Amino acid sequence: MKPKLYLTLIILLSLPLSAFEIILENGDAFICDLITETDKSYKILYKDKEYSIPKTEVISTDSTKKGAHSAFRYSKFTLKDGSKINGVIAEENNDSYTLKTDLGFLVVEKKRVAEFPAKSKTAPELSSTYLSTNVRLPETRIGIFGSGYANGKPISDTNASSGGGGLYVEPAFLQWKFMRFGLRSEFLQSFHAGNSITFFNNSAYINMSRVFLEKPMLDFYLNLGASASNVSYKKGSESFSGTNPGGYFEVGWQGIKFKNMYLRLGLNSFCNFESQGSFCAGGGSLGVGVRF
């Protein structure tokens, strides 16, 4: 039985993947193998490397195109009569182009062309940002966190630290290329010798992240944003509060992931700008998030 089992496994493993053509927004086209397709991306195998390409960056695909892994570029020609032709330049001479189109080969006289495509001497290459370990597909992220800060002056004279936590959301529809936009709310309290200070910080920020050396564990992020902070002071029977503009900064690591969950460990700081002066605090946070 074992020889038959091994033979079956060899046959299954040697079956070819689904070959097809994928054309990107810039006209670059690749003959590759389709591994899987989701509602957000195509996962492909191209020259022994696995890539995940967001569907938002793909013009079209064609599963009828077969052949060895290769790359070429579609060129767009605008004719003087207003019509447009897309094709791969198979041959060029002094008077005409021979184009390979979806309908076959077509000869276009240069005198009929109103707008010529830009020429490139190098063959297209798939960007390393599409590698499965680097790709960032549009996804919504929601998380909660706990945080602690060392207060700066003048508050540190009476209240050395603040602690609390909050939540954030980074919607998929607010993602643009390598940046995503998020909203963050954080509640902090500080008590010392009858002095009570609370902060309710609400921030809008830009999140940027990057995986280094194509290793998922080396996933780092940076948040930078503006905030509005409601601050309440209480000492004995006296109390007052107000809302101040401010800023928010965070840099951290998010390399631990389990299915659609992940951890964030960050170094944080925030500042409040008041009419009588500014106040800043710095510290750290630990949170858990979910990706949708």
pLDDT tens figures, 240-259: 888 999 999 999 999 998 88
CA distance 62 to 68: 15
Residues 167-198 have pLDDT tens digits of 999 998 887 767 889 999 999 999 887 788 99
- Please report the pLDDT score of residue 71 as a whole number: 85
Interior angle at CA 250, CA 196 and CA 209, nearest 5:
155
Answer yes or no: are the C-beta atoms of 53 and 130 closer than 8 Å: yes
- Please report the pLDDT score of residue 133 as a whole number: 64
- Please report the pLDDT score of residue 15 as a whole number: 45
Phi-psi region of 14 (alpha: psi -120 to 50; beta: other; left: phi over 0): alpha
pLDDT at 17 over 60: no
- Please report the pLDDT score of residue 3 as a whole number: 55
Q: Which residue has the higher pLDDT, 216 or 22?
A: 22
The identity of residue 230, as a single letter, is N
Tell me whether residue 150 is exposed, middle or buried, using C-beta atoms within 10 angstroms of its C-beta: 0 to 12, 13 to 18, 19 or more.
middle
Phi, psi (deg, nearest 5) at residue 109:
-75, 135
The set of residues, in sequence order, having a beta carbon less than 8 Å from that of 236 and lying 6+ positions away, is 194
Q: Which domains does the chain have, with CATH numbers?
A: 1-135 (no CATH), 141-291 (2.40.160.20)
pLDDT band of residue 13 (cuts 50, 70, 90) is very low
Q: Which residue has the higher pLDDT, 208 or 88?
A: 208
pLDDT band of residue 12 (cuts 50, 70, 90) is very low
